[in-house]
A and B are shown apart, each in its own frame.
Chain A
Amino acid sequence: SQQGEEDPQALSIQEGENATMNCSYKTSINNLQWYRQNSGRGLVHLILIRSNEREKHSGRLRVTLDTSKKSSSLLITASRAADTASYFCATDARNQFYFGTGTSLTVIP
């Protein structure tokens, strides 16, 4: 299936540390997006990276994309307790997006 898969499934870090989560997918994509979901809430779009881009920054977020390895990583620097959430990658295949099962990030104050 096209579904993105995040790794690790769960991550727990101290406030101030960096958090890195990875996403792998199976077929060619047009773009890859990262979303955040706080418990019981809707998803919030974080960042979109196109297939011809290798790296993108947005505030404390840094996303890389390696199309040869079919993988992406999301780095959150100087984490805060408010970053505690689930993070999903979504890959664009034709008319639809496929979401992985997410990485659950806990930032300990």
Chain B
Amino acid sequence: NAGVMQNPRHLVRRRGQEARLRCSPMKGHSHVYWYRQLPEEGLKFMVYLQKENIIDESGMPKERFSAEFPKEGPSILRIQQVVRGDSAAYFCASSPGGRDEQYFGPGTRLTVT
């Protein structure tokens, strides 16, 4: 059973470009969480999704950030018009249920130049 997969592992974007981060949950998991980790800081919750639904997006910046988890395919975290402050590691986690252990992917390291 493959673990949580994220791609790309590293992404470099210039200011103003769009960044798309993908997360494939573990097989059988229908809950996906996105976290951001700034250098030297802990993880910050961004958004919690189930298939085709956003359950909680209270940690998402109001502008430029969006997330989806379609019926088919991976979950996507999309950042439009990236700025240098968006440079961080973005982790995705999945779980079979909302209160279960979360299994984390290796993360995508976004660098905005």
Contacts and interface: CB of A to CB of B under 8 A. Distances in A.
Contacts of A68: none
A33 interface: yes
A43 B104 contact: yes
Nearest to B41: A101
A42 B101 contact: no
Interface in B82-113: 91, 93, 98-99, 101-107
B101 A45 contact: yes
Contact of A96 (B6, B42, B48, B107): B48
Interface residues of A, number: 23
Nearest to B101: A45
A43 B91 contact: yes
Given A31-B99, A42-B105, A97 B42 contact: no
Question: Which of under 10, 10 to 19, 20 to 34, or 35 or more describes the interface residues of B?
Answer: 20 to 34
A99 B106 contact: no
A99 B101 contact: no
A48 B98 CA distance: 14
Given A92-B99, A95-B48, A42 B107 contact: yes
A31 B107 CA distance: 24
Interface string B32-44: 0101000001111
Contact of B43 (A41, A95, A99): A99
Secondary structure of the A contact surface, majority rule: strand
Contacts of B99: 30-31, 92
Given A95-B55, A96-B58, A48 B106 contact: no
Interface of B: 4, 6, 33, 35, 41-45, 48, 55-56, 58-59, 91, 93, 98-99, 101-107
24 contacts: A3-B42, A33-B101, A35-B104, A42-B4, A42-B6, A42-B105, A42-B107, A44-B104, A45-B101, A45-B102, A45-B104, A88-B43, A90-B102, A94-B56, A95-B98, A96-B45, A96-B48, A99-B43, A99-B44, A99-B45, A100-B42, A101-B41, A101-B42, A102-B42
Interface of A: 3, 30-31, 33, 35, 41-45, 48, 88, 90, 92, 94-102
